[in-house]
Each structure stands twice: as structure tokens, then as C-alpha cells.
A and B are shown apart, each in its own frame.
Chain A
Amino acid sequence: MTPVLFIEQVLNGLQSGVMLFLMAAGLTLVFGVMGLINLAHGSLYMVGAFTAAAVAGATGSFALALMAALAAAAAAGAIVELVVIRRLYDRDHLDQVLATFALILIFSEGTRYIFGSFPLFLDIPDYLSGPVTLPGGIQYPLYRLTIIGIGLTIAAGLFWLISYTRLGIRIRAGEADREMIAALGVDISKLYTIVFALGAALAGLAGALVGAIQSVQVGMGEPVLILAFVVIVIGGIGSIKGALVGAVLVGLTDTLGGLFLPALFALFMDNSAAQTTGSALASMLIYILMAVVLVWRPQGLYGARPA
């Protein structure tokens, strides 16, 4: 493999990692602040993608579509929080798993009811389409570079939000001691709705951004959801920094593993067999990574030690 190809593949891994981060950030915030495990986070990703496709189809504007996706996912998140999720905060994880599993069913089939069974169309806008040439002669799609840029900007924005704003202080206080923050007179239920809607908006944005280069279809959120869970578990639940590191780690492992494992097996097998075996193992790789991390550090890379 040439260095140019290698760098291109690393960029690909980084790009998929950055998208995973947008998903994982919401999950980990919601868990950190409210102690809630939300399986329906992938549905909000789907809501974002479908909204973007519908708005782009109607108006032709990609920027408008992204904003609509953000708004729709945030609104869906806020509604779900008000109607269902807030009843689950003091329940055990089992109830949360089940209730949010039920939400997946409702969201998926509801979306299919509204938009039909065929995938929707959402395309990259002209001004972002096509490849650009990077230093070293690497041809790389502009849109993917944009995604990396947006993702890193949002990551930086989140760190700023958590570290320096009033909302961030409350979020951190909520993570540290839930009773205390209520006692201090912060409107805790409003805070929870805001955090949940924020997480939902990030997921919706990820769905819309990715929808332009992938298939906008019912059930698109579930594979991403599972990956995002792997990310936050590796990074340590509740830690934004952990989510970023975990996301990039998972993105790189997934992308590079799929390339190198078959090549590795080809050293001592015939090509076809090496392809099948290598990609079989590659599809298990991130789960193996997760198991290894958890066995080594049961609380994840940046998680607080369990009390």
C-alpha cells in the first residue's frame, strides 16, 4: 500500500469517526447527566436524515435541509423527553432499555408509514461535490473533508460549552451530583429536556450529513447506534473526551481493519479465502476491541471509576 493510499484511508477512518462522535456525544451526555440509556438515539439520526431529504427535495437548498434536520431532531427529542423519557430517569436500566426499544419500533414503522418503504433521495450540493487535491497529490472528496471539519468544529464547540458556559456548569454539576443541583434551585427538568434535545440535534445533524452520501432509509439508525454504544463504552460513559477518542479509534479500526486483515491473511491463504476470512474477522474487530478495552479497564478509557 502506497503512503498516499494509506493517508487517504486514515482520512476515511477519521471521517467515519467524526460522524460517530456526533452520535456518541449525545448518548454519552444523556447518560452522564440523566443516567439514562437511550436505544432510540438511532431513531433521531433517522429523523434528521428523512427531514433533510424531504426539505432538500422541496426547497432544493442543502443548508436549509441541514437546519431543518437539526430543528426536527431537536424537536422530536424534546417531545420524546417530555412524554416518555422523563418518566424513566428513576427507573432501572432494564426499564430504560425496554421503553427505548419500544420507541425504536414506533419511530421506524412510523417513518415508513409517512415516507413509504422506498429509500429517499438526498444529494451533496454542487458546491461541495467532487474531489479536491490535497498536498501530496491525494484526491479526496470535498464533502468528506467538510464533514471532518464540521465534526471537529462541533467537538470543539461542545468542549467550550461544557467547560465555560452556565449550561455546561450545570451539566457537569448534574453529572457529579444530581440531588445537589436540584437543591441549588436549578430547574432540573428543564435542564434535562435541553440536554436531551441537544443530543438529539447532534444525532439529527449526523443523520442529515451522512444521508447525503448514503442511503436514506428506515432502520438506517440502528447499525450506527450500536457503533455509537461501542464508542461510548470504550471511551467511558459520560465523558465527551472519551467519546471523541473512542469514536476516532473505532472509525480507524473499522476502516483500516477491513483493508489490512484480508491482506494479512493473503500472506498464507489463497486470495478468495483470505478475502472471506479477513473480512469476516474485520466485521468482528471493533467488538473485539471493545471487549479488550473493557477487560483491561472496565470503566472505559476516560470513565470515572465506578463507586
Chain B
Amino acid sequence: MSREGWINAALYAGLLAVPLWAWLADEPFTITLATRVAILALAGVGLNIALGLGGLVSLGHAAFFGIGGYEMGILASHAQSYSPLMETPFLIEGTKSMPIIWLVAVLASGLAALVIGALSLRTSGVYFIMITLAFGQMFYFFAISWPAYGGEDGLSIYVRNGFPGLNTLDPIQFFAICFVLLSAALWLSARLAASEFGLALGAARQAPRRAETVGLSPYRLRLLAFVISGAITGLAGALFADLNRFVSPTMFSWQLSGELIVFIILGGVGRLFGPVAGAALFITLEHFLGGLSEFWHIYLGLLLLLVVLFARGGIIGLLAGRRVAHD
């Protein structure tokens, strides 16, 4: 196993060991924190497919995160009040079942990614960054001012959604669900990177002209990557809403899109476990620095700056040494 492989294994084991320890030591809040890391890492793994594999710097991934969250909130709130979501042309009822909610979250955010991606991918570079930001802002303002589902107040779901055979209100069981989904996404992401599709995508990123001459369509490759990426981030949004039992328009905010990018860069761009390392570090810092000083954002800012300027491979890059591969 390579050095990065060892680091990944250690991270993976650590993310599993910390909540297990907390479970034994009866520290439920530590489990909640670890769950937060797992969910945000999942969102980051989603974004990393577009950003790391496809080279698509999306500053609007909060849109998908929010769509997943709101999809969960809307379905669960209708189930909570026993009012159907829609009666004509056919009946759609709310639900509190996680598997169904996940499926709908993946479909809804994937569909949104298809539309947003199809339009945005006509542009590239800074234009792409900005148009994705614009789409994110559109959703944000829409969510704030649309009164049906709470507007800026958001939606509270009083009881966490259910998963057959598990008690999801038990922190460790909910963590287990999130951890399994994160593992699945990591596996998928690794498979994608090694697949023909992943290689073609890499080719389209590094040498779009050459990719075109050998018969690849960079537009289609990128669109597919963007859709997969959005769908995974949407799934994370649904889980995040379930963790908080609450959704609000801040899930759509551009700062959140920025934070997702921060996870990836902190961890290391294009590294499989980059988002995991980044999310873990970010949450840890937020937890400890936030307790130390009201002005902890200054320290966070300084740290980010140092990472960007001097540790370009992120934490994993720092630990594993510079890679010879891409860029």
C-alpha cells in the first residue's frame, strides 16, 4: 500500500473509532460531531467528483445540498401532518422512510444538476464558477421568500426519519447509517476514477482538444460527472437535514458552497479521502477554536491562507508527499 493508502486507512479507521469510543464512554455529542463530519465529507466526496475528477470548480453545490435537505423536509413534513403532497393528477403522500427519501433526494438533485449543468457547462473557467454561484443564489432567494415551506424560518421535523430495523434517534445507529453511505460513495468515487469514464474525464480536463480528436465529448463527460456529483451532494443534504431535524435556506447559501470547497482543499484536491480529512479538520477546528474565541474566523482564515499558499496538496498532500500524477 502507498503512503497515501495508509493515511486513508488511518482516516477511515479514525472516523469509525472516535464515535465508537464516544459510544462506550457515553459521550453522545462526540458521536453527533462525527456524524456531521461523515455527512459533510459525503457532500465533499460528491463535489470532488466534479471538482477533482472533472476540474469543474462549482461554487453552487449548496444548491444540491439544499435540494436534498428540502426534499427531505417537504416529504417528512407532509407525513408529519398527514396531508398529501399532491392529489392531482395522482396522489403523492409524504414519507418518513429514509430509503425512499434518499432515492428521491438523489433523483431530485441529480435532475437539478442535469439542468444546471447543461446550461452552465456551455461556459468554462471563471464564467463557470460564477454561473454556478448564480444558480445557487437563485435557489437561496427562492427558499427564503417562498412561504409554503417556512421561508427563512425553515422547516422543523420533530422526529428523525426511520430506517427499517434501526432506531435512527440513537446517535450511534444514525452515525452507522451515514458512515455506510459515505463508504459507499468513497467506493463509487474510487471506481469512477479508475474506470474508462474517469480516465476519459481526466483526459477532457487536461487536454480537451486531444480528447475531442479521439472521439470523446468533453461536454457530455462533464455533464455526467456533474450530475453524479450533484446527486451525491443532494443525498448528503437529506442526511444533514435528518441530523439536524431541520432545514433552512442557509443550506443553499454561497458560504456553504465555499465551505464544501474548503473541505476539499484542506484535505487535498483530487485525493479520494481529501474531503474526509478536510471535513474532519474543519469540524474539529470549528468546535475547539469556536470555544476559544468569538473571533475564531480570523484564525480559520489564516489557516486556510497558509494551506493554499504553502501546503498545496492539503493535509493529505502534506503527509503523503507530493504526487507525481496530474496537474
Contacts and interface: CB of A to CB of B under 8 A. Distances in A.
Is A in direct contact with B (CB under 8 Å) within the complex?
A: yes
A233 B302 contact: no
Contacts of B312: 95
A109 B290 CA distance: 13
Contacts of A105: 297-298, 300-301, 304
Contacts of B142: 280, 283-284
Contacts of B127: 233, 237, 294, 298-300
Given A97-B261, A295-B119, A87 B297 contact: no
A97 B59 contact: yes
Contacts of A284: 137-138, 141-142
B129 A106 contact: no
B126 A37 contact: yes
A290 interface: yes
Nearest to A298: B123
Looking at chain A's contact residues, the main secondary structure is helix
Given A106-B302, A279-B145, A294 B261 contact: no
Given A37-B129, A108-B297, A226 B305 contact: no
Interface residues of A, number: 43
Interface string A276-306: 1001100110011011001100111000001
A306 B135 CA distance: 22
A109 B305 contact: no
Given A94-B261, A105-B298, A99 B135 contact: no
Contacts of B131: 233, 290-291, 294
Highest count of chain A CB atoms <10 Å: which of B51, B300, B301: B301
Nearest to A279: B145
A287 B301 contact: no
Contacts of A104: 301
A147 B323 CA distance: 53
Interface string B276-314: 000000000000000000011110111111001100100
Contacts of B51: 94
A36 B33 CA distance: 36
A221 B225 CA distance: 34
Contact of A102 (B144, B146, B304): B304
Contacts, number: 128
A203 interface: no
B262 interface: yes
Contacts of B119: 291, 294-295
A98 interface: yes
A104 B129 CA distance: 18
B130 interface: yes
B215 interface: no
24 contacts: A84-B309, A88-B308, A91-B308, A98-B265, A98-B308, A101-B261, A102-B303, A103-B305, A109-B298, A233-B134, A237-B126, A279-B145, A280-B141, A280-B142, A284-B141, A284-B142, A287-B137, A288-B138, A291-B119, A291-B131, A294-B120, A295-B122, A298-B127, A299-B127
Given A102-B302, A298-B127, 17 more contacts: A31-B126, A95-B312, A99-B305, A104-B301, A105-B304, A108-B297, A109-B298, A226-B137, A229-B130, A230-B134, A276-B147, A280-B141, A283-B144, A284-B138, A287-B135, A295-B119, A298-B122
Interface of B: 51, 57, 59, 119-120, 122-127, 129-131, 133-135, 137-138, 141-142, 144-147, 254, 258, 261-262, 265, 269, 295-298, 300-305, 308-309, 312
Interface of A: 31, 37, 84, 87-88, 91, 93-95, 97-99, 101-106, 108-110, 112-113, 226, 229-230, 233, 237, 276, 279-280, 283-284, 287-288, 290-291, 294-295, 298-300, 306
